């Protein structure tokens, strides 16, 4: 059994390494990185745009091209997140939390290196898991229905309770605001528009990437303008020394890397979730488990490592149910799945037997494309980092233009430009008043999915909330979520007690 896997893998590497497929893969990586850099034009849209072009390719070459675009987009998404605080992709929103502060402290090279390297580690370990355990993992993923998905999403929200840091009331306010925004749009359960104020354009909902571009990207620019054009990144030292220095740090985050990889991979495998929730969960968990949670959000390398590792692991994981079952594990995988029909393949478990070069060619190309991809982006680190040396007066308008194109591209509608601008102003005001932005974005992106999963679960069991009691997998996650919700309170309680024991007589003067 194991030997046959090695056999297949060697065969797949052979398919991926033919000069033609290698070229296709590299073209895909370059395109994908560019797509990742452009905010809004996400990997999902990019792949949908390229799909018609794959018509003339062999299926194996076509899937290698699209998958390589995906890997490139995952690598590339981190670049603008770190440099400009503008998430290039939905899954790199969490990367802005610590990546951009690092860049502002003059360490853009370090942040980029950490992002690319950890992204690669997450990808590589996931590909190995994919190669050897794809069929049993797919079976396990099928056991996850709406109740289990709901439990996982609640756990994701729970990891973020402590994210606000300072004032709990402000965190709760921002979370609720995010949940409220998540309700705008179209309710698939009743089939009716909801909270759209009669605007058809609002039926697509408030797109969280548009909000994130505004809150983080534009908000940041407004702040910089006010603070008198100080971008500390300008003085940042640029060179390959960053690489070694960052790599020396990475072993310190071994536990986070392992956790983020496994978590990301598994969230990716589950149908209907994808890399975005995985990256947020991983960031939240890293902070919860950290000895220095207060450093998060201020330029902690671990805060870049956690979401990037998970996002790329989830990207790989999302292709697992697509290949083994013909079920999309993420929105991006859903588009690739549409490609199967275009190439004349019926997705499903038979692919392994009937289209060996397609399935194993894809798996082989995952190894090769990710190795080439990480080398490509790492060599470009000094180039990317030097972008911060461009004077703010030139850079800011460029960033605004790029953000606008990105916001428009998410839904092809002008309304999103206004939403972006509005959230830019809101982002500035919130920053000034010291309201945390992350809980809003997390609630917005997870709120919709969580609501849907909860309502599906309740519908399935005629509105009986006891549905979760009968589902052991869901119960485990819900109990873990409850523990996480309670954790901050318990921690403060213990700290106070310990403090009281060690310093019994404190004189208040």
Interface residues with other proteins (CB under 8 A)? 44, 48, 51-53, 55-56, 141-146, 185-193, 196, 200-201, 203-205, 271-272, 321, 325-328, 331, 334-335, 337-338, 341-342, 344, 346-351, 411-413, 452, 456, 459-460, 462
Closest Cα partner for 189 from 496, 463, 501? Answer: 463
Find the shortest distance in angstroms from Cβ 436 to other proteins: 29
Question: Measured from the CB atom, is 313 or 322 closer to other proteins?
Answer: 322
Closest Cα partner for 438 from 91, 94, 79? Answer: 94
Question: Measured from the CB atom, is 462 or 502 closer to other proteins?
Answer: 462
Measured CA to CA, the distance from residue 401 to residue 415 in angstroms comes to: 16
Name the DSSP class of 388: G
- Write down the H helix ranges in 105-167: 108-142, 146-158
CA angle (178, 180, 185) in 5-degree steps = 110
What would the two tokens of residue 166 be? 């300072």
Cα–Cα distances (Å) from 244 to 112, 163, 256, 276, in that order, read 13, 30, 20, 29
* 8 A C-beta contact, residue 119 and residue 78: yes
Find the shortest distance in angstroms from Cβ 467 to other proteins: 12
Question: Measured from the CB atom, is 224 or 413 closer to other proteins?
Answer: 413
Question: Measured from the CB atom, is 32 or 164 closer to other proteins?
Answer: 32
Question: Measured from the CB atom, is 342 or 371 closer to other proteins?
Answer: 342
Measured CA to CA, the distance from residue 44 to residue 452 in angstroms comes to: 21
Kindly state the helix (H) or strand (E) to which residue 180 belongs, with its residue range: helix 168-182
Find the shortest distance in angstroms from Cβ 356 to other proteins: 16
Find the shortest distance in angstroms from Cβ 462 to other proteins: 6
Measured CA to CA, the distance from residue 43 to residue 88 in angstroms comes to: 10
What would the two tokens of residue 371 be? 């190795």
* 8 A C-beta contact, residue 357 and residue 73: no
Kindly state the helix (H) or strand (E) to which residue 185 belongs, with its residue range: strand 185-187
Question: Measured from the CB atom, is 391 or 463 closer to other proteins?
Answer: 463
Question: Measured from the CB atom, is 262 or 334 closer to other proteins?
Answer: 334
Question: Measured from the CB atom, is 142 or 258 closer to other proteins?
Answer: 142
Measured CA to CA, the distance from residue 250 to residue 242 in angstroms comes to: 12
Kindly state the helix (H) or strand (E) to which residue 194 belongs, with its residue range: strand 192-194
Question: Measured from the CB atom, is 461 or 485 closer to other proteins?
Answer: 461
3 state SS of 193? strand
Find the shortest distance in angstroms from Cβ 426 to other proteins: 23
What would the two tokens of residue 69 be? 């675009």
């Amino acid at each position: 059994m194991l030997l046959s896997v090695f056999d297949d893998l060697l065969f797949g590497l052979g398919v991926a390494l033919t000069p033609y497929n290698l070229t296709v893969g590299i073209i895909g990586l370059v395109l994908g990185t560019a797509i990742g850099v452009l905010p809004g034009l996400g990997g999902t849209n990019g792949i949908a745009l390229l799909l018609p072009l794959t018509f003339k390719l062999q299926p194996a070459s076509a899937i290698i091209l699209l998958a390589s675009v995906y890997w490139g987009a995952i690598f590339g998404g981190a670049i603008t997140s770190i440099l400009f605080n503008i998430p290039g992709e939905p899954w790199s929103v969490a990367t802005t939390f610590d990546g951009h502060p690092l860049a502002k402290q003059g360490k853009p090279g370090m942040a980029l290196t950490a992002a690319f390297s950890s992204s690669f580690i997450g990808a590589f370990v996931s590909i190995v898991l994919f190669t050897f355990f794809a069929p049993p993992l797919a079976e396990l993923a099928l056991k996850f229905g709406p109740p289990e998905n709901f439990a996982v999403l609640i756990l994701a929200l729970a990891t973020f309770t402590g994210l606000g840091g300072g004032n709990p009331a402000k965190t709760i306010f921002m979370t609720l605001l995010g949940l409220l925004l998540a309700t705008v749009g179209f309710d698939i359960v009743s089939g009716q528009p909801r909270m759209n104020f009669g605007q058809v354009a609002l039926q697509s909902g408030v797109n969280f990437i548009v909000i994130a571009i505004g809150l983080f990207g534009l908000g940041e620019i407004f702040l910089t303008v006010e603070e008198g054009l100080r971008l500390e990144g300008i003085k940042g030292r640029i060179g390959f020394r960053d690489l070694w220095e960052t790599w020396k740090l990475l072993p310190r985050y071994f536990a986070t890397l392992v956790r983020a990889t496994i978590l990301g991979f598994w969230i990716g495998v589950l149908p209907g979730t994808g890399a975005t929730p995985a990256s947020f969960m991983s960031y939240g968990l890293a902070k919860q488990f950290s000895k220095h949670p207060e450093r998060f959000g201020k330029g902690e390398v671990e805060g870049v490592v956690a979401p990037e590792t998970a996002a790329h692991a989830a990207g790989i994981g999302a292709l697992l149910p697509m290949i083994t079952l013909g079920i999309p594990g993420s929105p991006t995988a859903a588009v690739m799945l549409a490609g199967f029909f275009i190439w004349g393949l019926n997705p499903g478990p038979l692919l392994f037997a009937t289209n060996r070069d397609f399935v194993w060619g894809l798996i082989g190309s995952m190894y090769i494309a990710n190795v080439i991809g990480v080398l490509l982006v790492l060599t470009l680190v000094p180039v990317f980092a030097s972008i911060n040396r461009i004077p703010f007066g030139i850079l800011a308008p460029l960033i605004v233009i790029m953000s606008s194109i990105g916001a428009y591209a998410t839904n092809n509608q002008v309304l999103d430009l206004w939403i972006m601008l509005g959230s830019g102003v809101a982002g500035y005001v919130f920053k000034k008043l010291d309201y945390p932005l992350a809980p809003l974005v997390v609630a917005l992106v997870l709120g919709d999915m969580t609501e849907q999963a909860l309502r599906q679960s309740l519908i399935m069991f005629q509105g009986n909330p006891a549905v979760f009691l009968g589902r052991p997998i869901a119960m485990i996650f819900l109990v873990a979520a409850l523990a996480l919700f309670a954790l901050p309170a318990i921690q403060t309680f213990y700290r106070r007690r310990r403090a009281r024991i060690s310093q019994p007589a404190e004189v208040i003067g």
